[in-house]
Amino acid sequence: MKRLLAFFLVATATLAAESKPDVLFIAVDDLNDWTSYLGGHPQAKTPNIDRLVARGTAFTNSHCAAPACNPSRAALMSGLRPWKTGIYTNGDPAQGVLKDVVTINRHFLANGYNTLGGGKIYHNYNAEGRADSWTKWEGLFPTIKEHEENLNGLDRGHFDWGAVEAKTTDLGDYKATDWAINHLKTAPTDKPLFLALGYIKPHLPWYVPKEYFDRFPLAEIKLPVTKDDDLNDIPKAGVKMAGPEGDHAAVLKGDQWKKGVQAYLATISFLDDQVGRLLDGLDQSPRKDKTIIVWWTDHGWNLGEKQHWRKFALWEETTRTSMAIVAPGITKPDTTCKAPVDYTNMYPTLCELTGLPVPEHVKGASLMPLLKDPAAKWDDVAICTHGKGNHAVRDANWRYIRYADGTEELYDHTKDPYEWTNLAGEVGMSDIKARLASALPKEEIQSVSGDKKKGKDQPEGKKKKKKKAE
C-alpha cells in the first residue's frame, strides 16, 4: 500500500510538472529600439533577436514603467508602480521595499517552480541571492575589466566605448548564455522551470572585441535623426532632464558621436550573437516545445536625440522598449501588436499563461487578450515615471508628458514620430491632454531616499570614476 501511495504521489507530481509550461525569462540592459524588427536605426543588425520575437508576438508600442534600471526592474518584478513603492530612480534602494513583496520569482518559487536566476534581473545584483527568492541564484558572471579605461578620451567614468583585446568567451554575457543553455538541457524535469537570464550588454561601457566594431565601419555610420533646435519648445524641467551641457556637449567636443553610435551598434551585435546561441540551446533541449519565452529590455536609450544621452528622460527613445512573448499554443508566429502596453502588464500575464493565481497587490491588466488576438480592443495606456510627479502617458497616437511643476509636452505620433513639435500649448489640445492626464496618479508616496538624492540619475559634467551598477 505504501509503495502504491508513493507511486501515486510521484506520478501526480510528475503530471503537475508536465502540465505547467516552463518559462525562459530574458532581461536585457539598456537596449532601445535599435533592432532590425523595430527599425530604430537603419544599420542595426539583430537577426537573432528578430528570430526570437518572430516566434511569437512582438509588442511594438511597449514602454518601461520608469526610464532607469532600478525602478523599471522593481516595477516589472513586483507589479507595483513607482508612485506606490517610492522607487523612482536608481538612487532609491529597492531591496528594503521589496523584501516582503511577492515578486515574480518568489511567486513562481512558492507555486512549485524550479526558479533559477543569473546575470542582472533586479538592479542590485547581490540582494537577489535570498533563500526565499530563488531555488538558486547564480549572480553575475565574471567578465573583462569594464571601468575607468577611458578609451574614448572623454574621461567620464563608464561613459566609455572602444574595441578591446579580449576573446568573446571572456565576456560575462557569453558565460551567462552557457549557464542558461546548460540548465535548459539538464534541469530536472520533475518540476517546471522558471529560468531568468539577465544580459548586461548593451549597458555601458561599450567594450566588445574588434570583430564587432568591424561589422559597422566608422566611415559608414549614420547618426540618429535630430533637430538642432529640438529643445526650444520644451519646458525647463525637460531641458534639465536632457542635460545638453553634460554628456552631449562632451561627445561633440571630443568628436565621439559617430564612434559612440558605432560602439552601441557593435555591442548590440555581440548581444544578438548570444541570443542566437541561447535559442539554439533551447531548440536542442527537451523543453523546446513547452517553454514560454519572455523577452524584455528595461528601458530605452538616447544617443544624442534632444541633445541627450543615456536613459533618465520621458521621451520616446528613453521609454520605448523591445518586448515580445512566445507562448506555445497561444501566440502565433510573426505577429505584432501595436497596442500601448507597459511593464506592469507583465506579472499578471505570466500568471495567466502559467495558470498561477494573480497576487492581490498586482493590479495591471493581463496581455492575454492581445496574445490571442494582437488587434483586440485595448483601452489601457502605457505610463512611465521618472521621479515623483514626472510622468509620460503613451497611447496609440499620442505622448503626453507632465512634470512635477505642472509644465507639459504633447506629441502627435501620427505626424511627428521624432517628437519635434510640442503641441501642449496649442489651441484645441485640452481634451486630448485631459484624457491622457486622467491616467496619472492622484496621490504619490515620497521617494525611498526622501528626495535627498534628487537629480542623482541625471549625469551633468564629469562623473567620478566609480564602479557601480546603473
pLDDT tens track for 211-254:
999 999 999 999 999 999 999 999 999 999 999 999 999 999 99
CA 270 to chain CA centroid, Å, is 17
Return the pLDDT at 470: 43
Return the pLDDT at 156: 95
CATH number of the 20-373 domain: 3.40.720.10
Answer for the pair 133, 125: CB distance below 8 angstroms, yes or no: no
Q: How far apart are CA 204 and CA 263, in angstroms?
A: 10
Cis peptide bond upstream of 21, omega within 30: no
Give the catalytic positions in this structure: 69, 123
Q: How far apart are CA 82 and CA 89, in angstroms?
A: 9
Low-confidence residues in the chain, pLDDT < 50 = 1-2, 4-16, 453-470
Return the pLDDT at 12: 35
Answer for the pair 114, 135: CB distance below 8 angstroms, yes or no: yes
- AA letter at 115: T
Closest listed residue to residue 129, CA positions, set 141, 117, 137, 121: 137
CA 374 to chain CA centroid, Å, is 21
Return the pLDDT at 315: 98
Q: How far apart are CA 404 and CA 451, in angstroms?
A: 13
Q: How far apart are CA 83 and CA 77, in angstroms?
A: 15
Q: Which pTM does this prediction carry?
A: 0.93
Return the pLDDT at 142: 92
332-379 pLDDT tens trace: 999 999 999 999 999 999 999 999 999 999 999 999 999 999 999 999
Residue 379, C-alpha cell as written in the block: 483601452
Closest listed residue to residue 282, CA positions, set 19, 17, 16, 25: 25
